[in-house]
């Protein structure tokens, strides 16, 4: 096992990671896009993007696109390479504000999070369509893991934290 650092909130870090990974000349059979933030107060990434959209969507978008050729080279007729992107059922309530992807007009942590997850779903659907149309041996899937007991909930209202603390053992994965 080897560790390579990649900060998905930094376009520079993503590009450096991909450069380091490619230098190893290794195949890439599975890419799991599973980093994210949820309900964070209004904040920008080092590149100036709203944090939910920058990290949850743009980071995965750039990483996937920079590694796509490696994935295509790694997939075979009998064993497709795979891209698995973790989203959330929250995407159902998301609205893609094409004129305000950075949530500048009226910031809502819930709205920004839902929009980033909807963007991931739409990206993955479109990517799978393109991969299929080109006969590529790569599949792209987007998944909802359900309610998982992670640190993602650190920015929720204190009452929700108390309810989570009392019920997580029963309802959360």
Residues belonging to the active site: 113
Please state the φ and ψ torsions of residue 24, each to the nearest 5 degrees: -80, -15
Residues 131, 143, 17: CA angle, nearest 5 degrees: 65
Strand ordering across the sheet containing 138-143 = 30-33, 81-86, 138-143
Residues 6+ apart with CB under 8 A from 38: 52, 113, 152, 153, 155
């Amino acid at each position: 096992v080897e560790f390579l650092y990649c900060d998905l909130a930094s376009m520079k870090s993503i590009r450096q990671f991909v450069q380091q990974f490619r230098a190893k000349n290794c195949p890439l059979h599975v890419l799991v896009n599973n980093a994210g933030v949820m309900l964070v107060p209004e904040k920008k990434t080092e590149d100036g993007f709203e944090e939910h959209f920058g990290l949850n969507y743009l980071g995965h978008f750039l990483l996937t696109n920079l590694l796509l050729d490696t994935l295509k080279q790694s997939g075979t007729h009998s064993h497709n390479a795979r891209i698995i992107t973790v989203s959330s059922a929250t995407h159902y309530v998301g609205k893609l504000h094409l004129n305000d992807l950075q949530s500048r007009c009226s910031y809502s942590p819930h709205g920004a999070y839902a929009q980033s997850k909807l963007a991931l779903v739409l990206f993955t659907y479109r990517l799978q369509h393109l991969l299929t149309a080109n006969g590529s041996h790569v599949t792209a899937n987007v998944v909802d893991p359900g309610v998982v007991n992670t640190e993602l909930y650190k920015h929720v209202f204190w009452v929700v934290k108390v309810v989570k603390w009392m019920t997580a053992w029963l309802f959360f994965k």
